[in-house]
Amino acid sequence: MTDFASLRATMVERQLRRRGIADERVLAAMAEVPREDFVSERYRSRAYSDSALPIGEGQTISQPWIVAAICQALELGGGECVLEVGTGSGYSAAVLCRLAAEVVSVERHEPLAAAARQALDSLGVANVEVIVGDGSRGVPERAPFEAIAVHATAPAPPATLLGQLAAAGRLVVPIAADAADLLTVFRHRDGELSSETIGPCRFVPLVGEEGFGPA
């Protein structure tokens, strides 16, 4: 039988800590979440490979390093309400819910949202709400959010999501650029918006009103 626990521990050391993930809370959360439970039987043996994997509907579960990098950039202390756009398999939501008080996660593909809900339920996760819809519009009735994570590439910083950030909030989103997508963190501070590039990355496109056209 595959020893997923030891594969997971190796993943945390080799793929994350050695490649710049230093937030101990993020490393601990990544060491806890069984990524094998968020992929189909066919991909379980590759659950700790250093890559994205297919999850159906033409979508993928993100590479572990990317999930960790996004979580680290959100600078979570534990009390936040987080908006996640692009639930996908539910894996990143399972990591986020260990780092914040509450996670509202939006997925446009209903079958993916249903599978994610089931995987999260099986792990006993109670502080993630999965919503089916266009996450590029955010969730105005639940705003403001101290942190927003977008797991799909936007053509430009989505104004609606920036508008749903709390004072001192952080938005992490891949932005389309010429050579690659650029994972970018936007920070609201004293009424000013600053941005910082984390690094190049590759994501599926954000489909929707403030993404690449209507769903």
Per the CB < 8 A criterion, the answer to whether 98 and 90 are in contact is no
Question: What is the residue-wise DSSP string for the chain?
Answer: ---HHHHHHHHIIIIIGGGT---HHHHHHHHHS-GGGGS-GGGGGGTTSSS-EEEETTEEEPPHHHHHHHHHHTT--S--EEEEE--TTSHHHHHHTTTSSEEEEEES-HHHHHHHHHHHHHTT--SEEEEES-GGG--GGG--EEEEEE-SBBSS--HHHHHTEEEEEEEEEEEE-SSSEEEEEEEEETTEEEEEEEEEE---B--BTTTTB--
Active site residue 51: no
Catalytic residue among 62, 89, 92, 105: 62
Q: Residue 89 interacts with ligand SAH (CB under 6 A)?
A: yes
Per-residue contact string for residues 7-26; x = within reach of ligand SAH by CB under 6 A: --------------------
Instruction: In angstroms, give the least distance from the CB of 190 to ligand SAH.
Output: 30
Instruction: In angstroms, give the least distance from the CB of 26 to ligand SAH.
Output: 14
Q: Residue 91 interacts with ligand SAH (CB under 6 A)?
A: yes
Q: How many residues bind ligand SAH (CB under 6 A)?
A: 26
Instruction: In angstroms, give the least distance from the CB of 132 to ligand SAH.
Output: 8
Q: Residue 85 interacts with ligand SAH (CB under 6 A)?
A: yes
| Contact window for ligand SAH (CB under 6 A) among 5-13, 59-67, 167-175, 186-194 | 59-67
Measured from the CB atom, the residue of 154 and 165 that comes closer to ligand SAH is: 154
Instruction: In angstroms, give the least distance from the CB of 201 to ligand SAH.
Output: 12
Residues assigned a catalytic role:
62
Residues lying near ligand SAH in the complex (CB under 6 A): 59-62, 67, 85-86, 88-89, 91-92, 106-109, 112, 134-136, 151-152, 204, 206-208, 211
